[in-house]
Each structure stands twice: as structure tokens, then as C-alpha cells.
Amino acid sequence: MVWIDGWGLIYGLGPIDLVNTSVPLPESIEEQTRKIVRNLDAILKDRQLSRRHVVAVRPQAIGDGPPDDIGGRRKRGQSLKTSAY
């Protein structure tokens, strides 16, 4: 995460539990997407910011994506722009 003058650039945000990383990952891409958005909102809330302060987010969902292996599972990323919210 990079923060400059109240603006953020976040790459690699995943569907993990931010408090306890040993919690199993959500299975479906839809559940993972919801978890990534909740994680984004939690990170922003800690800085007293909202999605309107974010320039871009590159999340990392876990599934059958490109061969960038994470612990025996594959990851896939898709850039999201805050204008999509």
C-alpha cells in the first residue's frame, strides 16, 4: 500500500482474514471478491478514508488463474477502479 496526501494505491489485496491469517480462504470467486472489498473498506476505515480516496486496487483472488503459485494454489488479479463502485 502506498499513501500520498490522502490518496492510496493498493496492490495484491487478498481475501485473507486481516486479523487471523490461518482462517480458511473463501471458496468461490464471489465470496473472495466480497472479502477483498470488506478488507479494502477495513483498511480505509483505519485511515479514516473511503473508496473515493483510492486511485486503484489490484486484488489477488485465489483460484484457477495464471501460474503464479501461492502455497499450491493459483492467484489471479484484476485491476478495479473506484469509478466502478
- The 10s digit of each residue's pLDDT in 9-55 is 778 888 999 999 899 989 888 899 999 999 999 999 998 888 888 77
Can you give the pLDDT at residue 71? 47
For the beta sheet containing 7-13, the strands, ordered from the edge strand earlier in sequence to the opposite edge, are: 2-4, 7-13, 54-63, 73-77, 69-70
CA–CA gap between residue 14 and residue 25 (Å, rounded): 9
Q: What pLDDT band is residue 64 in, cutting at 50, 70 and 90?
A: low
**Which residue ranges make up each domain of the chain?**
2-84
Q: What pLDDT band is residue 85 in, cutting at 50, 70 and 90?
A: very low
Q: Is 0.95 topped by the overall pTM?
A: no
Q: Does the pLDDT of residue 73 top 60, yes or no?
A: no
CA–CA gap between residue 5 and residue 78 (Å, rounded): 25
Q: Could you give the count of Cα atoms lying within 13 Å of 10 in the half-sphere of its Cβ?
A: 22
**3-state SS class at 56:** strand
